[in-house]
Structure 1
Amino acid sequence: MDLDAVRTFVTAADTGRFQDAAAELAVTQQAVSKRIATLEKVLGVRLFTRTARGATLTIDGQAFLPHARGLLRAEERAVASVRPDRRALRVDVIGRRLAPAAQLGDFRRAHPEVELDVVTLFDVDAAVDAIRAGTIDASFRAVTMPGKRLPDGIGAARAFDEPLQLLTGPSHELAAARAVRPAELAGRRIWMPGLVPGTESAAYYDDLAAAFGLTIEITGPDFGTEPLLDTIADSRSLATFVGEQTRLVWPADHGLRRITLRDPTPVYPHSLVWHHDNPHPALVTLRDHFRSGRFGQTEAGTWTPAWA
């Protein structure tokens, strides 16, 4: 498909007049008409209806427009993929409400000159595959899981440790506690329906459960964060684990409690993962940022799995 024709179509759709599209693209109005006519021939539909006020999209034009914009974005990404000095640094943060996203926000404030493109991938395998393929530059992951090793050329360094907290509703037996020891949770119901077996998160919580005699339930449908919070808020027996930096929002009447875990404090080990041959200059800035002082240092009185 002729991307010049697609670009002309999108410009005409945005301006509403072929004449204005021609001016924006620095071509003649005749060239605009010819490109759109060619595109209509390729697609086998009419994209515009001419009116006295300009040109309006047909139903088919309206249907094609978001896909046309996607084609142009794909073109931009394709060009940028071979020009690392001109494109944003692409970083996987697992989830936009989780700690890596918050840490990346801190990095952005410390380095406003670095343009970021933030993505979320499913698990460490998907992240490593994307790093190897060059579709992302770096990822925050808990590495390495039992039975796994990073492929040749992939580097990883501990970036930061995130303390876990216990989240309960107001009527839970531990709701009034200021802090709880992990061993005190043995025999209590910890519900985490979003855990997917085989992922790095599941590996972490499997080891946590084994270390302190916990039972972590992953049964039941995972409808997302809001239904989970609704259930926890109304329960006297269910609780869940959340990261200290996980951003959660709930109605005031839920009365949820975030309770500190200590003696020891379980921490989730986030590592920065990248490819050694990646030439993006901002990747060096990102790595240096997380090498500085306060990052990647596990404090006394904390717990992480041996594999981390």
Structure 2
Amino acid sequence: MDLDTVRTFVAAADAGQFQEAAAELAVTQQAVSKRIAALERELGVRLFTRTARGSGLTIDGQAFLPHARELLRVAERAVASVRTGRRPLRVDVIASRSAQSGLMRGFHRAYPEIELDVVMLFDVDTAVAAIRSGAIDASFRAVAAPDRPLPDDIESVRVFDETLQLLTGPAHALAGARSVTMAQLVGHRIWMPGIVPGTEWAAYYEDMVAEFGLTIEVTGPNFGSDALLDTVADTPALATFMGEQTRLVWPADHGLRRIPVTDPTPVYPHSLLWHRDNPHPALSTLRAHLAATVAAHGAAGTWVPDWAARRAVGR
């Protein structure tokens, strides 16, 4: 249905005269008459009765008027949803309990007037495709391994290094340690069932294994963080890595321990990705907020894979 004819019908119904509707719409009276006639042909009913005093709605016109108004409101909302600065800023944070989600909560507290849509996509390829299609405006990722460079139209900047800690149950051999070195982790089973081959986090842990000789197991189905915590709490031989800012809650009787890792301290490098031609004004606000509020990355005594360190300053 032609929205111009619907808009003309509403204007004529409100004005009560085609001439006044024409003046409001900045068209000729003849154009108004033609649009109304076209709409009546499309609907198969008469919408107006013409009188010496002007135009009045028929019963069918009265029935159609509220729906016509709603059609115009829906059209306005549709346009506003994609108009720069009018639609929400859409950002991918990977998981609701992740550090990236915490960064976005901080951004929302600082800029409550900016409307946000927070989504959770799977891997960097999915996120990049969504950025390029316009489905999202930005994504927090570890960028990519060296053999999978980002497309030229995708910008990235490393914004945050999240310290990894060792998480153990109360009966684990390292549970009483105030801290452990990477060398002390050799020979211990570190269980990471959420690692999916081909993802950026898989590349991160593969490089960690190659660098330090750790034993990282990915066997078994991934039933989520609650099941992971239950298993680690009940199995003395298993530990796992957990981001320092990953928000998790477990029962007090689990007795889980978060233990700092040193010499070096492994950190997971979070980068912000966006399309270089994205005009959303809130995107630059987000980037400036992250630059001003997040601690500097690349601190001495920390470790990231070489491919992440090379991209520390962005594209």
Provide the residue aligned with 1:186 in structure 2: 186
Judged with a 3 Å threshold, the aligned counterparts in structure 2 of structure 1 residues 234 and 76 are, in CA distance, closer, same or farther, namely: farther
- 3-state secondary structure, aligned to 1:140: strand
Q: Matches of 1:188 and 1:82 in 2, distance apart?
A: 51
State the 1:224 CA deviation. 1.1
CA RMSD of aligned residues (A): 2.5
State the 1:196 CA deviation. 0.3
Contact 1:158 1:296 in 2 (8 A): no
Residues 1-308 of structure 1: matches in 2 within 5 Å? 31=63, 79-292=79-292, 294-308=294-308
Uncovered stretches (5+) of structure 2, i.e. residues with no partner: 7-59, 68-73, 309-315
Once the two structures are superposed, what CA deviation does each residue of 1:58-86 show, in whole Å capped at 9, x if it has no partner?
xxxxxxxxxxxxxxxx9898544531210
Letter of the structure 2 residue corresponding to residue 31 of structure 1: A
Judged with a 3 Å threshold, the aligned counterparts in structure 2 of structure 1 residues 155 and 180 are, in CA distance, closer, same or farther, namely: same
Q: Matches of 1:228 and 1:78 in 2, distance apart?
A: 43
Judged with a 3 Å threshold, the aligned counterparts in structure 2 of structure 1 residues 303 and 169 are, in CA distance, closer, same or farther, namely: same
Q: Matches of 1:243 and 1:78 in 2, distance apart?
A: 40
Judged with a 3 Å threshold, the aligned counterparts in structure 2 of structure 1 residues 84 and 259 are, in CA distance, closer, same or farther, namely: same
Uncovered stretches (5+) of structure 1, i.e. residues with no partner: 5-27, 36-73
Q: Matches of 2:203 and 2:81 in 1, distance apart?
A: 33
- 3-state secondary structure, aligned to 2:157: strand
Q: Matches of 1:144 and 1:304 in 2, distance apart?
A: 13
Percent identity, aligned pairs only?
Answer: 66
Once the two structures are superposed, what CA deviation does each residue of 1:73-131 show, in whole Å capped at 9, x if it has no partner?
x9898544531210110000010100100011111112222211100000000000000
- 3-state secondary structure, aligned to 2:259: strand
Judged with a 3 Å threshold, the aligned counterparts in structure 2 of structure 1 residues 254 and 282 are, in CA distance, closer, same or farther, namely: same
Letter of the structure 2 residue corresponding to residue 249 of structure 1: V
Once the two structures are superposed, what CA deviation does each residue of 1:256-308 show, in whole Å capped at 9, x if it has no partner?
11111111110000000001100000000011112227444211010000000
Letter of the structure 2 residue corresponding to residue 263 of structure 1: D
Contact 1:290 1:296 in 2 (8 A): no
Q: Matches of 1:102 and 1:161 in 2, distance apart?
A: 13
Judged with a 3 Å threshold, the aligned counterparts in structure 2 of structure 1 residues 172 and 126 are, in CA distance, closer, same or farther, namely: same
Runs of 4+ in 1 over 4 A off after TM superposition: 74-78
Judged with a 3 Å threshold, the aligned counterparts in structure 2 of structure 1 residues 110 and 241 are, in CA distance, closer, same or farther, namely: same
Calculate the TM-score normalised by the size of structure 1.
0.75
Provide the residue aligned with 1:66 in structure 2: none
With 244-253 and 76-85 compared, the bigger mean Cα shift is at 76-85
- 3-state secondary structure, aligned to 1:283: helix
Letter of the structure 2 residue corresponding to residue 282 of structure 1: A
Letter of the structure 2 residue corresponding to residue 267 of structure 1: V
Calculate the TM-score normalised by the size of structure 2.
0.73
Q: Matches of 2:75 and 2:300 in 1, distance apart?
A: 50
Q: Matches of 1:107 and 1:99 in 2, distance apart?
A: 13
Q: Matches of 2:136 and 2:184 in 1, distance apart?
A: 41
Contact 1:186 1:213 in 2 (8 A): yes
- 3-state secondary structure, aligned to 1:307: helix
Q: Matches of 2:295 and 2:121 in 1, distance apart?
A: 23
Larger Rg: 2
Contact 2:92 2:121 in 1 (8 A): yes
Letter of the structure 2 residue corresponding to residue 210 of structure 1: A
